[in-house]
């Protein structure tokens, strides 16, 4: 459903016993994909509340009461507190559901590498995607914004090539699937263009195809990105 609840209504949901599940606020094709995929992989009970970017609902008073930065995704924990930031949410879910393979065991080399690549993508790709999508936030509209978008797109492509070269195959790490694979697959669907992706990211494309076929994640992938 679309996000239209007031803070009072949101609070009332917990009186009805719905606080036993996570509530994920986001939109299709957004960073909410990562969080929903991680929740599905963990077998966690959750609800998805649509916050429409097209309708600018992330700037509504009701959503700003949940996340004052006005960005999605946001995740309400079963106990009621709110957490935000996609990379942080991936790690939170992995920690809360250690029976999954979202993160390798603590102290292992694979865990260190998974954290490394999640941090790399969060800091080196995600902020640049905002420039590609909304150059007018960073430069005057017109030729300046258009030029900035193209430069930002080049930067995203460079960073994805760094990921491409690091992939062990079929997953990022030789030890197997982790949350880093979810993150990498999502970024490959954004900003860079399908033709360029198909020509330059064969390993990431193979990783995304494998991710889209994981039983728990397959319906989430289809919901956000199609078949």
Encode pLDDT of 203-222 as tens digits.
999 999 999 999 999 999 99
Q: Which domains does the chain have, with CATH numbers?
A: 7-96 (3.40.30.10), 109-225 (1.20.1050.10)
Q: Which residues contact 40 (CB under 8 A, 6 or more apart)?
A: 216, 217, 219, 220
Cα–Cα distance for residue pair 127/137, rounded to 1 Å: 12
Beta-bridged to residue 82, according to DSSP, are 76
Average pLDDT, the chain: 92
If you count DSSP H runs as helices and E runs as strands, how many of each does the chain have, helices first?
11, 4
Place of tokens 């790399």: 120
Element (H, E) at 96: helix 86-96
Cα–Cα distance for residue pair 215/100, rounded to 1 Å: 14
pLDDT digits (tens, 9 = 90+) for 75-95: 999 999 999 999 999 999 999
Is the pLDDT score of 19 beyond 70?
A: no
Is the pLDDT score of 37 beyond 60?
A: yes
Cα–Cα distance for residue pair 39/58, rounded to 1 Å: 22
Phi then psi for residue 168, to 5 deg, are: -75, -35
Percent of the chain with pLDDT over 70: 91
CB 75 within 8 A of CB 84: yes
- % helix / strand / coil in the chain, to the nearest 5? 55, 10, 35
Cα–Cα distance for residue pair 122/43, rounded to 1 Å: 24
* DSSP-derived pairing of the beta strands 22-26 and 46-50: parallel
Cα–Cα distance for residue pair 16/111, rounded to 1 Å: 39
C-alpha pair distances (Å), 71 with each of 89, 111, 123: 13, 28, 16
Is the pLDDT score of 224 beyond 50?
A: yes
pLDDT band of residue 172 (cuts 50, 70, 90) is very high
pLDDT band of residue 156 (cuts 50, 70, 90) is very high
Q: Which of 7, 9, 3, 86 is nearest to 52 (CA)?
A: 3
Local structure of 173: helix, strand or coil: strand
| pTM recorded for the entire structure | 0.90
Cα–Cα distance for residue pair 83/96, rounded to 1 Å: 13
């Amino acid at each position: 459903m679309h996000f239209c609840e007031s803070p009072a209504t949101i609070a009332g949901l917990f009186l009805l016993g719905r606080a036993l599940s996570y509530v994920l606020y986001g939109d299709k094709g957004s960073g909410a994909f990562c969080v929903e995929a991680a929740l599905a992989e963990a077998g966690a009970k959750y609800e998805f509340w649509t916050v429409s970017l097209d309708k600018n609902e992330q700037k509504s008073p009701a959503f700003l009461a949940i996340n004052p930065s006005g960005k999605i995704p946001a995740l309400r924990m079963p106990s009621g507190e709110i957490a935000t930031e996609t990379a942080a949410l991936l790690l939170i879910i992995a920690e809360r559901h250690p029976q999954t393979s979202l993160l390798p065991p603590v102290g292992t080399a694979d865990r260190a590498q998974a954290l490394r690549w999640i941090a790399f993508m969060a800091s080196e790709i995600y902020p640049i995607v905002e420039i590609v999508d909304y150059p007018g936030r960073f430069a005057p509209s017109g030729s300046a914004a258009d030029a900035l978008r193209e430069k930002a797109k080049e930067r995203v492509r460079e960073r994805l090539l760094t990921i491409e070269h690091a992939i062990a195959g079929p997953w990022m790490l030789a030890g197997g699937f982790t949350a880093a694979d979810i993150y990498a697959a999502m970024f490959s669907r954004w900003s860079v263009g399908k033709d360029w992706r198909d020509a330059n990211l064969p390993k990431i494309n193979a990783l995304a195809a494998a991710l889209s076929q994981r039983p728990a994640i397959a319906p989430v992938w289809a919901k956000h990105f199609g078949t």
